[in-house]
Structure 1
């Protein structure tokens, strides 16, 4: 399978590029920055462009006969509402339009737990939980998921939205003992999203097989995602913090706090 990975220079993007290549796929990187040091750009498998630029995205699709897209590009932090929508929704739209034009029918999208981040903590959160974003970042992820659903219905695209928890080499807080996604499980998740038979539009929670998991892994397992790692392995290394109680009150953790609040629009 020939796969376009957007945000390929990012933390998750670099893991995806290597991990998917190790699984036998041909990967093409797309990012606003040049390829990381050591990457062989002579292969023509790296493109430096902004995913919000629909013409630039279309040019990449014209160069390669792609089979699928793993969309990881986007600002992982909070920004103004217009900037967040551009970063997560406009980029997704540019890719979906190019997919329709070039007959590419599979996309795996890096959504976020912050699409439901304002949801109070309960025993196990399912994918049927209504959207309840905690930030403009979360709002943009909700909108991107809606756009994927529209293109699945309108154009028959298979779109898997992965509501990623806390991607780290290892968990670094008590919250992350519940929300951690390991690098190896991240690749397993993308592989499942790319190969699940006819998922249509589907949502899964992107976490490892954590003993303390807050989110239901069964929807991902139905798509073939079988996580192997458990944050509990690192529990003895994670120190308690005064912030732990607040971070456990809502599924979005610190994104619910006042420090993340800002006006929707930047004004001069």
Structure 2
């Protein structure tokens, strides 16, 4: 499969590019920055929010699918967040429709449901949107655009609500939310190759014993994670912040430290 990988220079993008290539896929990289040293794949230094530039990439490359990882990974104003996540997604979707590319895998976030209080049962893919930040709001909006294009044009759109992508857990919350690099690649490949998923949502976490999200949707798409954060549990000290970070599934993003006005007023 020939895959356009946006955000290819990012921490997740680099891991996914290598992992998919190792599994026989061809990667076309796209990022705001030039290719990293040693990258030989086709590469476009393009802003995903520039619809004309994105369309030109599609015109030049034969593509089978898109993996959309690009986007600001932290909190910003509401307009900036929507530009980074919703507008970029819209530009890609329009180019896909124009050039007959039928599948997109989208890196959404657990923060799309991050304001949901922790419960006794794992949260499923049908949980109502409940963002904890403007970052989360923008992810919800991008998911809605993907649903619209799946319904309107029959695209296959798989939304991966990623937890905590790290080499290994760094805090006790990560015992529930960790996504290992290896499982991240397994997740993306499953989302790329699942037969006719239509619009689907899965939670991007490893097979964590203490998981806060239900992996059943991922299993239906062929995602079978192999790692478990529990092996690191004994190495993670108790912290005063642990209880607050476990109150909502979005962790610290749901706290007052992230409260801000929607608009930056100069």
TM range (shorter): over 0.9
Partner of 1:177: 175
Q: What secondary structure, in the 3-state scheme, does the structure 2 residue paired with 1:8 have?
A: coil
How many residues of Structure 1 are paired with residues of Structure 2 in the alignment? 265
Distance between the aligned counterparts of 2:95 and 2:237, measured in 1? Answer: 47
Matched, 1:15 2:29: no
The structural deviation recorded for 1:222 is 0.3
Question: Any idea what the Cα deviations from partners look like across 1:173-221, whole Å, max 9, x if unmatched?
Answer: 0000100000000000000100001000000000000000000000000
> Among residues 130, 147, 150, which one is paired with 1:149 in the alignment?
147
Any idea what the Cα deviations from partners look like across 1:245-268, whole Å, max 9, x if unmatched?
A: 000000000001111111111111
Which of 64, 69, 89 is the aligned partner of 1:67?
A: 64
| Structure 1 gaps, min length 5 | none
TM superposition shift of 1:239: 1.3
Aligned to 1:261: 259
Q: Secondary structure at 1:188's aligned position in 2? A: helix
Aligned partners of 1:70, 1:39: CA distance in 2, in Å?
A: 18
Match of 2:33 in 1: 33
**Could you list the per-position Cα deviations for residues 7-47 of structure 1 after superposition, in whole angstroms to 9, with x for gaps in the alignment?**
0000000001100000000001000011112223xx5x110
In the alignment, is residue 95 of structure 1 matched against residue 92 of structure 2? yes
SS at match of 1:163: strand
TM-score, normalising length: structure 2: 0.99
Q: Report the TM-score when normalising by structure 1.
A: 0.98
| 1:207-222 correspondence to structure 2 within 5 Å | 207-222=205-220
Indicate the SS of the match to 1:114. Answer: helix
Q: Describe how 1:38-49 pairs up with structure 2 within 5 A.
A: 38-40=38-40, 45-49=42-46
Provide the residue aligned with 1:106 in structure 2. 103
Shift of 1:140: 0.3
Distance in 2 (CA, whole Å) between partners of 1:258 and 1:120 is 15
Q: How do 1:128-207 residues align onto structure 2 when only pairs under 5 Å count? A: 128-207=126-205
C-alpha separation in 2, matches of 1:191 and 1:99? 19
1-side partners of 2:15 and 2:23: how far apart? 12
Structure 1 stretches of 4+ moved >6 Å: none
* Deviation string, structure 1 residues 47-70 (Cα, Å, up to 9, x no partner): 001000001101111111100000
* 1:57 counterpart = 2:75: no
- Give 5+ residue unaligned stretches, structure 2: none
TM-superposed deviation, 1:109? 0.1
- Residue 235 of structure 1 deviates from its aligned partner by 1.0
How much is the aligned-residue C-alpha RMSD, in angstroms? 0.6
